[in-house]
Amino acid sequence: MTPEGSLLAADGLHKAYGATPALDGAEFSIHPGEVVAVLGPSGSGKSTLLHCLAGIVRPDRGTVRYGDRELTTLNDTERSALRRTDFGFVFQFGQLVPELTCVENVALPLRLNGVKRKEAERQARAWLERLEVDDVAAKRPGEVSGGQGQRVAVARALATRPRVIFADEPTGALDSLNGERVMSLLTDAARDTSAAVVLVTHESRVAAYSDREIVVRDGKVKDMLAGLQ
């Protein structure tokens, strides 16, 4: 049953890769504007949980509900459409398109959604300014620092004003100072737009930016406030 008021919720998720279970009855929920940190050792299932929540991977059993829609029943095209419009993604290494300038990278999801180039780049520049990297707009990813590149990636994730942002080790490739700045800007911008953030990390200093922490261990989820779900 979906927790009352939740934007995204998973119930009884099971996922195995061959004979190796990655999720074993995992449950999860997040509300609009909430930042939830997903912690756990390597191989615990936290990235698999994120991928199931985002509709990238189908669980073997269990359900994922986004609002009034059940992601596990949607086809590939429908789930891809959600990832273009309602979901934003920030990865450990940014995964910016090297051939595009930074402003073109941020504008890319808008262009894929049919926004005209001039308007898409106007909105992209506004996000770059908000993330304090408007000075690198005309540069390509290979010409900027790691911290700048990750802020460009955050701007790209926010450009479509998604309702859920999935951040998978977003500071893993950064030093502590740049990591703190990226997390501050990401969480502030998300809360301002009422976006929920699912934050996968193994760093306690990064998890400190969340409203709530959960731990994934052996494919099960433990809420640090509420105990075992």
Indicate whether 62 belongs to any domain.
Answer: yes
Indicate whether 172 belongs to any domain.
Answer: no
pTM over 0.95: no
Residue 96 and residue 153 in contact, taking contact as beta carbons nearer than 8 Å: yes
One DSSP character per residue, 5-31 reads T-SEEEEEEEEEETTEEEEEEEEEEE-
Indicate whether 172 pLDDT > 90.
no
Q: What pLDDT was estimated at residue 3? A: 66
Indicate whether 174 belongs to any domain.
Answer: no
Indicate whether 145 belongs to any domain.
Answer: no
Indicate whether 8 belongs to any domain.
Answer: yes
Indicate whether 74 belongs to any domain.
Answer: yes
Q: Residue 227's pLDDT band (boundaries 50, 70, 90)?
A: very low
Q: What's the domain range around 79?
A: 1-86+196-229
Indicate whether 219 pLDDT > 60.
yes
Q: Which residues contact 68 (CB under 8 A, 6 or more apart)?
A: none
Domain count, the chain: 1
CATH number at residue 10: 3.40.50.300
Indicate whether 94 pLDDT > 80.
no
| Chain position carrying tokens 């029943």 | 73
The beta strands (E) that lie in the chain are given as 8-17, 20-30, 35-39, 61-66, 69-70, 87-90, 164-168, 196-200, 212-217, 220-223, 227-228
Alpha-carbon dihedral sign for residues 157, 158, 160, 163: positive
Indicate whether 2 pLDDT > 60.
no
Indicate whether 136 belongs to any domain.
Answer: no
pLDDT (tens digit per residue) in 180-206: 988 998 999 889 999 999 999 988 899
CA gap 90, 93 in Å, rounded: 8
- Determine the 3-state secondary structure of 80 from DSSP: helix
Percent of the chain's residues with pLDDT above 70: 95
